[in-house]
Amino acid sequence: MSNEIPLNPISREQIHKLESTLLFATLFRPEVLEIIRDPAERLTWVDSLAVAAGSIAREKAMMSVGEIARELGRTEQTIRKHLKGESKAGQLVRETYELLKQGKLNEVLSFVETVQESRKIREEVEKLKKEKQELEKKIEELKKLKNDLEDLQKKVSNMKDELERIITKTKEVETKLV
């Protein structure tokens, strides 16, 4: 899978692929998991890691610091800190990039793939649940229609019996009249 991650992206899609891989792989590093356990720190850290991952992915796409800053909505100073590794988030993402480059993130990347597959499976399960509900609804409608049909068949049978009785009575009356 690491072959599929563009280490020097060219297109926007490739930049986003590298960026999301760097962010996800960095988030699952043990030291980062420990830091983000604290809910007070979590949002700040995830935001910093996201900016650092976005900065490094765009740097690898040969974008200038100014372009990166404009695109990510941060100051050039903030971008430089992440790119130079002066921020802890920048250091961690840069280390993750190097591990990715060396092919040492296969376990994390296969986990990412597994998460994506499980998301697809969950979506399929939800779709199947909806289909099941619709089918159960149709089955209930069919049961009602079957009951209605059985009621109509009974009424027709009763009417047939009544008609035969009337015909028999009519014949008896005719016979008596003749």
Look at 26-35, 44-53, 102-111, 163-172 and tell me which has the smallest mean pLDDT: 102-111
pLDDT at residue 43 in the model: 84
Judge whether 162 lies within some domain: no
Dihedral Cα 74, 80, 81, 86, nearest 10 deg? 170
Judge whether 76 lies within some domain: yes
Question: Is pLDDT above 50 for 8?
Answer: yes
Question: Is pLDDT above 60 for 3?
Answer: no
Judge whether 143 lies within some domain: no
pLDDT at residue 103 in the model: 82
Identify the domain containing residue 16 by its residue range.
2-104
- For the chain, the domain total comes to 1
Contact residues for 42 (Cβ-Cβ < 8 A; gap 6+): 36
Exposure string (b/e) for 102-134, b if CB count within 10 Å is 16 or more?
Answer: eeebeebbeebeeeeeeeeeeeeeeeeeeeeee
Judge whether 17 lies within some domain: yes
Judge whether 75 lies within some domain: yes
Nearest partner of 15 among 28, 3, 5, 1, judged by Cα = 5
The pLDDT-based confidence of 65 (bands split at 50, 70, 90) is very high
Query: pLDDT digit string (tens) for 138-171?
Result: 999 999 999 999 999 999 999 999 999 999 999 9
